Structure 1
Amino acid sequence: MLSTIEEHYPIGSKPSLHYIPYLIFISYIVSLIGAFTTVELLHRRVSGSGWRGWLQLGACSVSFGLVAIWCMHFVGNRAIILGGGESEIQLYYNATYTTVSAILPIVVIFLGLLAADRFHKNNRNATTRYVSLLICGIMCGAAVTEMHYLGNQGTTNYRLKPLPEYIVGAAAIAIGACLIAFGLFFHWSGHWMNNIWRRIIVACFLAVAVCGMHWTAAAGTHYELRGYHQGSGSARNTNVIIAVCLCLAACGLCFAMGFIKQRQEKKQRDRAKQVVLAVATFDTEGRLLVTPGGLLPCQTITRQFHQRTFDEEFNTRHPVFQWLFRVSRHWGGIVDLIPAMRDHLQHTGYLQVSTPLGNHSRDSMGTEEGDSTYSAVFRQMFCVTAQDIARSMETRLQDLGQLYEDVLTTGTLLSRTIFKDSQGRPIIASDVVAPQKDVEAGLNPVLFGRGQLLVLTRKVDKEEADRLQNIGYRFASTNQIGDHLARSMQISRQDLNGLIVRLQTYCEKRLTIPKSGTYLASFLLQPSPVMKGIDVIVSKTSPDRLPMVKFMPNDPTPRQLRLLSTFNGLTLDECLARINSRSGSVSEDEIFMEKFRNHIQELVAQVPEPALRHATFSSHQLDIAHGVRGQNEALTATLFAFCGIKEVYSQSLQSEKLQYIPLSFFKTNLRSYPGCPDHAILAQQNHKEFGSLFAVAGEPAMPASNSGAKWTSFFHSKGRAMSEVTVPTDNSSEKGLVHISETALNAPSNTGFGGIMVSQEVVISQDAGVSQIELQEMGVRSQAGVGDSEQLTMADRLLSITTSFRDPHARMLAKDHTVRR
């Protein structure tokens, strides 16, 4: 048999060759699988110089070099049939060359991808980006070419003679296709347009680079026989078997990544229905920090915030949100408690240590628990979640940012029903029922949201921005990530654009409390028509301060205070009438009265509300920033205010520059300015509350679903309800503003809401008794030392003054004193 082969194919001859078509197609599929695996791994990689980023680039290099190139090469060569198909004259390979041809391209590809990842992304120099991309394309194309010819050199029974022009052409095809593929990939990736179809296109180009180079080079290669294979012909299938196994492994990896992607998308959809904490970080150029996947750094706090009553809402009026708002402005007062909070949550089962995917799992809080436990658990979960996000961003909790002033609604798109009008155009249900922009409507927009989002905002300098990019995060404009981010939050693109603008404006906002001078302010209250509390009218641009105008640069003199005291208890119109009725003599007093009138008119122009004209003037000079002056020398501004309450049925505002916010949240703002003494008091209250909670953390905890626990919780909640039923809410009506329950004074301060609700009621109760103001006390500011209880804010004192003016007896007494004066 061998002699026959030697006669037909002598040494030095060049046997004819032909190809097996289906193996050519299979070789392209093998290369496509490897290329697609490479692209998927690149898409999910973490940028930066850390070991994790290098490991992922190494995996990409192995996938491309070993599967897309090496496996394709040997599957493709198996399609080459020499002579009549006799096994003795087919292609066989040396093991050493085969191994080296598998390792060398991996190294070259890794260097090319490393150059692109290091210098192309996050580099503002266009020349550097293009050069790094050129290096990546050349090195990857060279790896394809090098592997092909090095692998062919390992042929044991043939001397391969490639033609130079085909070598150049094959290399050009490989480099050109790699440049196109990686250019498209990094361009789409940089603009977050890298969806599955675009990644398939990139993979197809990479497969074309490999296969195009391979078959071009094969067409320009002559096979000169130099020996005959001795042994079984099955040895030529060894490399093919290895290639098939590697290809199947790549397929398995693709399926695994697809499964993980589905889980991530499901988690994103679920997050739109949950209470989630996110961080919005902006750089000096106004770009937003996102993860490599184009999402905000975020984590679920809990699956659902359970309302205690049917009409309860988790919003800025809720005492829990107000506690979170204050804590985020002074993380230092809570950070040392977070390890104990984490241990307590893990011990009670609300926070599981890990899941199969390595993430913490947070259970929904059961409604069978008491109010205090419910509040404490949610606040602990918020703090622990914030700490987890800070760790993932490798930053301190104190530098993570401050809580945005609103609870955002997510998942609104999935809750909208689409109809069609008579012309067949789609109509969204929420658009149909949404109220028009009518100032007389007095209604809130209709929302169909199913999830809530709390956002911490901050702005970082260039150094911190570079550090965040080095650990894998990226800064992007709204145009780049808007659509993807809106889909993940399940809100409209228009809503997202407005949200990002508000977040950026909020994190850039500076302290709006005046530092010095005397101001004239408007303090107008609006009772809620559905008994949900009292709102106060503030400016949209500065919701943490009352509408006010600067009256004088310094404190008023004693004589000016006496003049102002004559207007105490008069409405704004009565004040203007009295000023106009005075003699027109040119004196110091008349000049001061003229100045007073001008600033009143300026305040009316700023707050064009009819209720302001009926608001009552208080000559009680108040500190805008509460606390002892010795502790806040920089904040010495004071004000006089016109105090009034709008009718409950008049919910509209005459100016688009004004808005309603809950009075309790306005007080929270006043307790949150930098340097406020209430930060230390809140920290002390938190240590007292959570310290007693952690004292029993080591005891065995019963599952929340235990029936005995339900009965125990039932009796505990009944006991709490009986003891707390006399504590008034923030407000219920105008009547509630005057008649305050005495029980509030005796209520314990260590409640489930960290003393927030009780401290508010104590404030009202203490000041509500000051209904009759003596003349000699007009203009005198009382100051108290900082103790264990929080100071009265300006809003507390104004609320007390307002309620005292609503008392007819107090109002008549004030007017009588004014007449006597």
Structure 2
Amino acid sequence: MEADLAIKYPLGSRPHVHYLPHDIFVSYIVSLIGAFTTVELLHRRVSGAGWRSWVQLAASAVSFGLVAIWCMHFVGNRAIRLGDGEEEIQLYYDSAFTAISAILPIVVILLGFSIADRFYKSSRGSTTRYMALTVCGVCAGAAVTGMHYLGNQGTTNYRLIPTWPFVIGASLIAVGACCISLGLFFHWSGHWMNNIWRRLVVACFLAVAVSGMHWTAAAGTTYELIGYHKGPGRARAVNLIIALCLSVGACGACFALGFLKQRHRRQLRDRAQQVVLAVATFDKEGRLLVDQGGLLPCQTITTRFHQRTFDEEFNTSHSVFQWLFRVSRHWSGIVDLIPSMRDHLQATGYLQSQSASANESRASFGSEDNSGYSVIFRELFCVTALDLARSLHTRLQDLGYLYEEVLTTGTASNNIIWKDTARNKNIIAADAAISHKDAMRNSVFFGRGQLLILTRKIDTEESNRLQNIGYRFANLDQVGENLASSLQVSRDDLGGLVARLQLFCGREAWVPANGTYLAAFVLQPLPVMKGLNVIVSKSTPDRLPMVKLDSQELSQQHLDFLATLHGLTLDDCLVRIVQESSSLTNGDIWLETFRNKIHELLNELPESALRRSTFSAQQLDITNGVTGKNQKIRATAFAFCGIKEVYHQSLASPSLTCVPLSFFQTFLRSYPGCPDHAILAQKNYREFSNLFVPSSNDVKASSGSSRGAWHSFWRPNKSLSLSETSLNPDSSSEKGLVSVAPLSRMESANNVAHPFGGIMVSQDVVINADKKSSCQIELKSLGLRTEAGVADREQQTMADILMSITTSFRDPHNMVPREGRW
């Protein structure tokens, strides 16, 4: 047989070459599988410098270098048929060269991906970005070309002679196709347009780069026979089997990535039906901070908010939301209590250990009493906020303020009520797809999820820091579809939300200038006795509609005139001003100014109820609480107080809105520097510092003997856990009186940050010196005196005083103006 082969194919001869089309197609499919796996891994890779990021980057390099290039090479070479197909003269490979050719492309591609990740994503300069992208494409093309020719050098029975024009052409094909594919990938990723079809296009270009280079180089290669293969013919199939196994593994990885993607979508869909806390961060250019998937940083607070009654709603009028709103404006008053909150939630089973998933650790609660469920939800909010701050690598105090609305999510897939106009009845459909135009027009959506948003605006230094740890800033048109899909809301609703969030970030606390103001306090009663709303402007819902009457305090003559208007409606005040002006010889410029300011106030609040509102001559100080410690500003206000009819719920102007009275009072207690912040912090300390109360069994066990009890009091057992000890933090006014064991970490932090709630122990020594004899003294009192007291209550807000004035106008016996401060 060998003699026949030697005669037919002598050494040094060049057998003719032909190709098997089906093997060529299979080799392209193998390359496509590896390329698609690479693109999927790059797409789902987390940014940053952590080990997980590098592992994902290395996995991408292995997928492309080992599967898309190496496997394609040896599967493709199976399509090359030399001579008449005799096994002894086909291509066989050396194991050493084969192993080296598998490692080389992985190393080169990892280098190219690292350069693109380091310079392309983190640099804003176009030159640097294009250079990084070019280097990455050149490295990928060089890996394809280098692996091909290095693998050919491992051929044992042939000497492969390349043709240089074909080498150059194959290299250009590899580099050009890699640059185009990677450029498309990074461009689409930067604009959050990288859906599966676009990623498939990128993978096809990468497969074209590998296959195009391979077959171009093969067409320019001459095979010169240098020996005959001796041994079983199945040895040639070893590389093929390895390549096919790797390809099947890559297919499994693709299926796994698809499964994880579907799971992530399901989690987003479920999250849209839960109570979620998100962070909306804007840079100076107005762009929104998102993660690599184009979503807001967010975490689930709880699966649902427990409603105590059927008609209870978690909205801005709810006392729990108002507490959250105030706490977010003074994180320093609660941050030291969060460790104890986390321990309490874990002990009660509402929060799993920190190793559990955040989405799975927040449980719903529905069996607590009215006070217990409120405490649990507030603890979950604070713990979730701290976890978000840690994910952003920032302090909780810098996380932002809570937005002034509770947003409804999940409306895109919830139950829909269709109105049948023909039969005048409602039809309920669950998760129905709206295709009919009439159904779309008459549909009413009901959302089941709720979204709380902490928002802030950052400077350039902070935005650069966030981008360095893997987050990105994007315009709404880039990430709008992803955000709307994750929240399950319409695209238009999302656009309006982002616009309102930007305005909220730009709103600054209003500090009144010196002078006298004229305000309007008009209430809107809700049907079925559900409370009262205050009519305010949409742009400034945190303050009453008001105009500046005078830049200085009014004279006594003007104050006396305003006293004559006390109890009159706005229309009657205008009539009285006209009468007063006509009675004067030369008129009064101030009266004309006062009348013009009333008309300006009517333009500010164009409601007919304002004309029927009653004027109060009580002078209110509007600087206390607004300016904090700055008491140099002296600004006062007079107000028209009125209540709108309950059956007129619509507003006269689209620029107006209604804010719950309780929430408006919360606004007035949330200004920077407001003294109520410290009072709220003291209340929170008293409420949350005693979360761990020892059980009766623990108390009996700890008091087995009187000596043991006293010993445990003076020398607490250090082995007791935080939930077992009953000692409260020491905040006494005298230190060093007794020797106690060091407090735990949580107790020490609370003791430093919150010196409230303790009993003040002092010693009074009164010494009376006799005038006649300076050397004699009398000790009137010597001993210990204890005082137990509480902190000052929260101050009355302007809304509180105006509410009392409004109700007093309905009492005919209480019409005397009085001085007031808030």
The residue number in structure 2 matching 1:803 is: 807
Contact 2:108 2:143 in 1 (8 A): yes
Q: After superposition, where does 1:304-343 map in structure 2 within 5 Å?
A: 304-343=304-343
The residue number in structure 2 matching 1:408 is: 407
Contact 1:411 1:490 in 2 (8 A): yes
The residue number in structure 1 matching 2:383 is: 384
Corresponding position: 1:544 with 2:559: no
| Residue 55 of structure 1, CA deviation | 2.9
Q: After superposition, where does 1:751-766 map in structure 2 within 5 Å?
A: none
The one-letter code sitting in structure 2 at the alignment partner of 1:260 is: L
Q: Greater shift after overlay, 391-400 or 590-599?
A: 590-599
Q: Could you report, residue by residue, the CA deviation over 1:458-491 in whole angstroms, capped at 9, with x for unpaired residues?
A: 1111111111111111111111111221111111
Question: In the superposition, relative to structure 1, how do residues 147 and 419 fare at CA in structure 2: closer, same or farther (>3 Å)?
Answer: farther
| Residue 572 of structure 1, CA deviation | 1.7
Q: Aligned partners of 1:698, 1:248: CA distance in 2, in Å?
A: 62
The residue number in structure 1 matching 2:141 is: 141
Contact 1:365 1:374 in 2 (8 A): no
Q: Aligned partners of 1:630, 1:653: CA distance in 2, in Å?
A: 34
Q: Which TM-score applies when normalising by structure 2?
A: 0.83
Which secondary structure state, in structure 2, belongs to the residue aligned with residue 109 of structure 1? helix
Which secondary structure state, in structure 1, belongs to the residue aligned with residue 673 of structure 2? coil
Q: Greater shift after overlay, 533-542 or 3-12?
A: 3-12
Q: Aligned partners of 1:83, 1:128: CA distance in 2, in Å?
A: 51
Q: Greater shift after overlay, 331-340 or 41-50?
A: 41-50
Corresponding position: 1:493 with 2:497: no
Q: Aligned partners of 2:58, 2:49: CA distance in 1, in Å?
A: 13
Q: After superposition, where does 1:362-377 map in structure 2 within 5 Å?
A: 362-377=361-376
The one-letter code sitting in structure 2 at the alignment partner of 1:667 is: Q
Contact 1:667 1:796 in 2 (8 A): yes
Q: Could you report, residue by residue, the CA deviation over 1:733-780 in whole angstroms, capped at 9, with x for unpaired residues?
A: xxxxxxxxxxxxxxxxxxxxxxxxxxxxxxxxxxxxxxxxxxxxxxxx
The residue number in structure 2 matching 1:712 is: none
The residue number in structure 2 matching 1:519 is: 517
Question: In the superposition, relative to structure 1, how do residues 417 and 203 fare at CA in structure 2: closer, same or farther (>3 Å)?
Answer: farther
Q: Aligned partners of 2:585, 2:473: CA distance in 1, in Å?
A: 62
Corresponding position: 1:792 with 2:799: no
Corresponding position: 1:432 with 2:430: no
| Residue 814 of structure 1, CA deviation | 6.5
Q: Could you report, residue by residue, the CA deviation over 1:681-705 in whole angstroms, capped at 9, with x for unpaired residues?
A: 11111111111223459999xxxxx
Q: Greater shift after overlay, 187-196 or 320-329?
A: 187-196
The residue number in structure 2 matching 1:347 is: 347
The one-letter code sitting in structure 2 at the alignment partner of 1:9 is: Y
Q: Aligned partners of 1:418, 1:157: CA distance in 2, in Å?
A: 77
The one-letter code sitting in structure 2 at the alignment partner of 1:580 is: V
The residue number in structure 1 matching 2:745 is: none
Q: Greater shift after overlay, 174-183 or 493-502?
A: 174-183
The one-letter code sitting in structure 2 at the alignment partner of 1:568 is: H
The residue number in structure 2 matching 1:503 is: 501
The residue number in structure 2 matching 1:230 is: 230
| Residue 359 of structure 1, CA deviation | 4.0
Which secondary structure state, in structure 2, belongs to the residue aligned with residue 361 of structure 1? helix
The one-letter code sitting in structure 1 at the alignment partner of 2:597 is: H
Q: Aligned partners of 2:438, 2:147: CA distance in 1, in Å?
A: 57
Q: Aligned partners of 2:644, 2:159: CA distance in 1, in Å?
A: 98
Question: In the superposition, relative to structure 1, how do residues 371 and 631 fare at CA in structure 2: closer, same or farther (>3 Å)?
Answer: same
The residue number in structure 2 matching 1:207 is: 207
Which secondary structure state, in structure 1, belongs to the residue aligned with residue 609 of structure 2? helix
Number of residue equivalences? 717
The residue number in structure 1 matching 2:428 is: none
The residue number in structure 2 matching 1:615 is: 613
The one-letter code sitting in structure 2 at the alignment partner of 1:808 is: P
The residue number in structure 2 matching 1:580 is: 578
Q: Aligned partners of 1:622, 1:572: CA distance in 2, in Å?
A: 18
| Residue 428 of structure 1, CA deviation | 6.5
Which secondary structure state, in structure 2, belongs to the residue aligned with residue 648 of structure 1? coil
Contact 2:516 2:636 in 1 (8 A): yes
Contact 2:299 2:358 in 1 (8 A): no
Question: In the superposition, relative to structure 1, how do residues 337 and 699 fare at CA in structure 2: closer, same or farther (>3 Å)?
Answer: farther
Q: After superposition, where does 1:579-658 map in structure 2 within 5 Å?
A: 579-582=577-580, 584=582, 590-627=588-625, 631-633=629-631, 636-658=634-656
Q: Aligned partners of 1:634, 1:589: CA distance in 2, in Å?
A: 35
Contact 1:192 1:294 in 2 (8 A): yes
Q: Could you report, residue by residue, the CA deviation over 1:108-140 in whole angstroms, capped at 9, with x for unpaired residues?
A: 212222232233335443333323222222221
Contact 2:519 2:601 in 1 (8 A): yes
The one-letter code sitting in structure 1 at the alignment partner of 2:568 is: L
The residue number in structure 1 matching 2:704 is: none
Q: Aligned partners of 1:391, 1:565: CA distance in 2, in Å?
A: 57
Q: Aligned partners of 1:559, 1:634: CA distance in 2, in Å?
A: 25
Q: Greater shift after overlay, 302-311 or 242-251?
A: 242-251
The residue number in structure 1 matching 2:784 is: none
| Residue 610 of structure 1, CA deviation | 1.8
| Percent of aligned positions that are identical | 64
Contact 2:82 2:90 in 1 (8 A): yes
The residue number in structure 2 matching 1:192 is: 192
Which secondary structure state, in structure 2, belongs to the residue aligned with residue 105 of structure 1? helix
Which secondary structure state, in structure 2, belongs to the residue aligned with residue 810 of structure 1? coil
Contact 1:289 1:476 in 2 (8 A): yes
Question: In the superposition, relative to structure 1, how do residues 474 and 3 fare at CA in structure 2: closer, same or farther (>3 Å)?
Answer: same
Q: Greater shift after overlay, 44-53 or 169-178?
A: 44-53
| Residue 23 of structure 1, CA deviation | 2.4
The one-letter code sitting in structure 2 at the alignment partner of 1:78 is: R
Larger RCO, structures 1/2 (Cα 8 Å, 6+ apart):
1
The residue number in structure 2 matching 1:752 is: none
Q: Aligned partners of 1:464, 1:547: CA distance in 2, in Å?
A: 36
Q: Aligned partners of 1:83, 1:131: CA distance in 2, in Å?
A: 46
The residue number in structure 1 matching 2:269 is: 269
Contact 1:112 1:137 in 2 (8 A): yes
| Residue 256 of structure 1, CA deviation | 1.3
Question: In the superposition, relative to structure 1, how do residues 693 and 450 fare at CA in structure 2: closer, same or farther (>3 Å)?
Answer: same
Which secondary structure state, in structure 1, belongs to the residue aligned with residue 161 of structure 2? strand
Which secondary structure state, in structure 2, belongs to the residue aligned with residue 455 of structure 1? strand
Contact 2:109 2:139 in 1 (8 A): yes
Which secondary structure state, in structure 2, belongs to the residue aligned with residue 141 of structure 1? helix
The residue number in structure 2 matching 1:131 is: 131
| Residue 57 of structure 1, CA deviation | 1.9
Q: Could you report, residue by residue, the CA deviation over 1:205-258 in whole angstroms, capped at 9, with x for unpaired residues?
A: 111111111111111111111122333322222222222222222122111111
Corresponding position: 1:164 with 2:174: no
| Residue 447 of structure 1, CA deviation | 4.4
Q: Aligned partners of 2:810, 2:445: CA distance in 1, in Å?
A: 36
Q: After superposition, where does 1:241-252 map in structure 2 within 5 Å?
A: 241-252=241-252
Question: In the superposition, relative to structure 1, how do residues 85 and 635 fare at CA in structure 2: closer, same or farther (>3 Å)?
Answer: farther
Contact 1:347 1:697 in 2 (8 A): no
Contact 1:677 1:786 in 2 (8 A): no
Q: Could you report, residue by residue, the CA deviation over 1:787-817 in whole angstroms, capped at 9, with x for unpaired residues?
A: 4311111111111111111112224x669x9
The one-letter code sitting in structure 2 at the alignment partner of 1:407 is: V
- Pairing partner for 2:684 from 662, 683, 686: 686
The residue number in structure 2 matching 1:100 is: 100
The one-letter code sitting in structure 2 at the alignment partner of 1:796 is: D
Which secondary structure state, in structure 1, belongs to the residue aligned with residue 12 of structure 2? coil
The one-letter code sitting in structure 2 at the alignment partner of 1:804 is: S
Contact 2:340 2:689 in 1 (8 A): no
The one-letter code sitting in structure 1 at the alignment partner of 2:469 is: I
Q: Aligned partners of 1:628, 1:200: CA distance in 2, in Å?
A: 58
Contact 1:327 1:334 in 2 (8 A): yes
| Residue 354 of structure 1, CA deviation | 5.7
The residue number in structure 2 matching 1:177 is: 177
The one-letter code sitting in structure 2 at the alignment partner of 1:353 is: S
Contact 1:331 1:397 in 2 (8 A): yes
Query: CA RMSD of the aligned region, Å?
Result: 2.7
Contact 1:400 1:456 in 2 (8 A): yes
Contact 1:354 1:360 in 2 (8 A): no
Unaligned 5+ residue runs, structure 1? 434-445, 701-784
Q: Could you report, residue by residue, the CA deviation over 1:160-204 in whole angstroms, capped at 9, with x for unpaired residues?
A: 001111111211221222122112211211221111111111111
Which secondary structure state, in structure 2, belongs to the residue aligned with residue 530 of structure 1? helix
